């Protein structure tokens, strides 16, 4: 079925999805010129892909979720420090916030240990952007 023609009534849903995916891939930008060698093979190594190993899918999913939670925890911690430095909080609020952030850090450490991870394992490499999480202080 041509991609410019709308799907006919009663068309197979899988055909519609395949057609939509084909259109989407045509919209992707071409690879940069330096990514092609003279023989047409890529000059870079193979792209890192998600490994969907059924034996590790639970651990990998937990790693992703914990990475997001750790990123949010660090952002909240920085925001809290800015608010403390700016004097926006009472002493009681500072104490509660500090205790809450310490408890969250302890829970993160416990969850990492349960799944055989460390907090350093959660730092995803974003390629040219560098690591997701800042280095530990």
- HSE-up of residue 104 (Cα within 13 Å, Cβ side): 16
Q: How do residues 13-39 score in pLDDT, each as one tens digit?
A: 777 777 777 776 666 555 555 554 444
Phi, psi dihedrals of residue 7, rounded to the nearest 5°? -60, 140
Q: By CB neighbour count within 10 A (0-12 exposed, 13-18 middle, 19+ buried), where does 134 fall? A: exposed
Helix (H, G, I), strand (E, B) or coil at 84: helix
pTM of the model: 0.55
Taking only the tens place, the pLDDT of each residue in 61-97 is: 888 899 898 888 888 888 988 998 999 889 999 999 8
């Amino acid at each position: 079925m041509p991609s410019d023609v709308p799907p006919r009534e009663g068309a197979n849903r899988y055909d519609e999805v395949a057609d939509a995916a084909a259109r989407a891939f045509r919209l992707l930008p071409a690879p940069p010129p330096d990514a092609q060698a003279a023989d047409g093979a890529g000059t870079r190594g193979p792209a890192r892909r998600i490994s969907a190993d059924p034996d590790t899918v639970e651990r990998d999913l937990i790693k992703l979720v914990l990475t997001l939670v750790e990123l949010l925890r660090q952002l909240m911690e920085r925001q809290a420090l800015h608010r403390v430095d700016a004097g926006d909080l009472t002493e009681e609020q500072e104490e509660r916030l500090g205790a809450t952030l310490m408890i969250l850090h302890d829970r993160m450490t416990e969850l990492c240990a349960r799944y055989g991870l460390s907090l350093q394992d959660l730092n995803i490499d974003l390629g040219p952007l560098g690591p997701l999480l800042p280095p530990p202080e």
